[in-house]
Amino acid sequence: MLNKKEQMSVSKFMSLILRHKTKDFGLESDSYGFVLIKDLLKILKRRFPEITQSEIESVVKNCPKKRFEIKGKRIRARYGHSLKIDLDAKPIKPPQFLYHGTSPSFVQKIKREGLKPMRRQYVHLSKTIEEAIEVGKRKSNYTIVLKIFAYKAFEKGIQFYDMGEVVLAESIPQEFLKILA
């Protein structure tokens, strides 16, 4: 059985494959980003020779951010794609506010252009300031937190998708943003 450190390594590698490099690893996905678990297992065994399908299922089940989804014999990353996929999620009515943590180096561009998905398919938003700070720390030692006036954006036609820990949107125009710190 994989220990926590190994589960984290497998999760990161699965994220790379399922979010960004499915074809590079010779995997065939459907329009929703699903690949056969048995095919993913073959790829994972190159790096983790002892891994089993039940350990992949354990990684999916124990992932605190619910990054993955299994349906039948197929698996996919639920969000974070640079690959174009059909999200297969229904838009939600968002809370009044959502948050986004970022590096100070991006603030001026965000002020001009709003939040854009950059190299991903969607902008990732957090439900709390604390979560946004944690996300921002991945990019910089000092995090700038943006407050998103999500409900106002929703009223103007912006669609939001609740993926568990993360809420997605195609973009957020700058008129719905406020820099907190």
Confirm if 99 and 145 have CB atoms less than 8 A apart. Answer: yes
Domains of the chain in start order, with CATH, are 4-77 (1.10.10.970), 98-179 (3.20.170.30)
Q: Which helix (H) or strand (E) holds 21?
A: none
The pLDDT, as a whole number, for residue 95 is 97
Position 117, amino acid: P
Q: To the nearest whole number, what is the mean pLDDT of the chain?
A: 92
Q: Taking Cα atoms as reference points, which of 115, 109, 139, 121 lies closest to residue 83?
A: 121
Q: pLDDT at residue 181 above 80?
A: no
Distance CA(128)–CA(40), nearest Å, equals 33
Confirm if 19 and 80 have CB atoms less than 8 A apart. Answer: yes
How far, CA to CA in Å, does 113 sit from each of 90, 110, 159? 26, 5, 18
pLDDT digit string, tens, across residues 12-40? 999 999 999 999 999 999 999 999 999 99
Confirm if 6 and 56 have CB atoms less than 8 A apart. Answer: no
The average pLDDT across 169-177 equals 96
How far, CA to CA in Å, does 102 sit from each of 45, 56, 161? 35, 31, 20
pLDDT digit string, tens, across residues 132-159? 999 888 878 899 999 999 999 999 999 9
The pLDDT, as a whole number, for residue 101 is 94
**Exposed e or buried b for every residue in 36-46, given b needs 16+ CB within 10 A?**
bbebbbebbee
Question: What is this structure's pTM?
Answer: 0.79
Distance CA(113)–CA(100), nearest Å, equals 15
**Exposed e or buried b for every residue in 89-107, given b needs 16+ CB within 10 A?**
eeeeebeebbbbbbeeebe
Q: Taking Cα atoms as reference points, which of 126, 114, 94 lies closest to residue 171?
A: 114
